[in-house]
Structure 1
Amino acid sequence: MSAPPSTPTPSARLFLAFLAARLAFGLAFLVSAARKSPVPWYLPLEHRFVIASESPGLAMDWYGRTALGLGAALVVGLAAFTLARRGPVGAWLSRPASVMAVAHAGGLVLLVDFVYFGWALMNQTPRPWPLPSWYCPG
C-alpha cells in the first residue's frame, strides 16, 4: 500500500475552497439579513442604490446582500485554497477519507439549503402595498 501524497490534489483543494466559499456566502447573506445590517438597496423606480438597514420605500436588497455574500465567498474561498496547499490542512486533505468527509459536508450544506429555502418560500406571506389614492378601477 502506498503512502498518501504529502500535498493534496488540486481538485481536492478546489472542492474544499468551493465548500468554504459556499458556507461563507450563506453565512454572510443570512447574518446580514438577520441582524438587519446596512447593505446596498436598489430603488428600481429611481434607478439608484442606497445603503440602509431597512427598505427606504420600494426597494430590493437582493443585489446588495448577494454582493456582500460574493465578497465574503471570494475571500474565504481563496484563503481555503491557499491554506490547503501545505501544513496541517494540506496533510489532512491529502487523505482520501478527508476528501470524502468534505464531500459529505457539501451534500449536507445542499440539503440544509434546499430545506431552509423551500420552507422559507412556502411559508412567506406577501404584504402588498395599498393602492394609490389616484387609482380608479374601471
Structure 2
Amino acid sequence: MSAATQAQSYERRWQRFMQNPRILVERIYLPLVMLALHNWGKHHLYLALDTTVLWDEYCMIHLSVVCCGRAVPFLWQVLKHESAMVSSVSYRDLFRKAHWLLRAYPEVMLLADRGFACHELLAWLETRQWHYALRFAK
C-alpha cells in the first residue's frame, strides 16, 4: 500500500468523524484534557504552538501540551487560509481561552517556531507572565 493511499484513508476517517452530528468534540475532549492536567500539580507546563495546512485550503492553529516528548493537542482553531503563516490576530482568542483555562498553573512555557515571533505575541506573553522560547531566524 502506498503512503498516498494510507494518507487518504486517514483523511476519510477524520472527515467521517467530524461530520458525525452526535459528536461534539470540544464538549468531550477539553474536559478530558483538563482532568489529565489536574494532576500536573506545580510542574512546569510546556505548550507548543504550531500550524498545519490541510488540503491546501485550511490552516489549523494548534496549541498542544508537551508531555513525555509528545505534543498532546489542547486547543485548536481552523481558518480558511492557504498558508501556515498566520497573523497574531488569528490566534488571539485561542490564547485568551488557554490563559483562562490554565490560570491555576503558575509556570507556563510557550514553545513556538519563528513564524510566530511578533511583538504583539511577546507583549501578551509578558503581561500574562508566561515564559516563552521562540525560535528566530539568524
TM class, shorter-length: under 0.3
Larger radius of gyration: 1
Q: Normalization by structure 1: what TM-score?
A: 0.27
Q: Normalization by structure 2: what TM-score?
A: 0.27
Greater share of residues in helix? 1
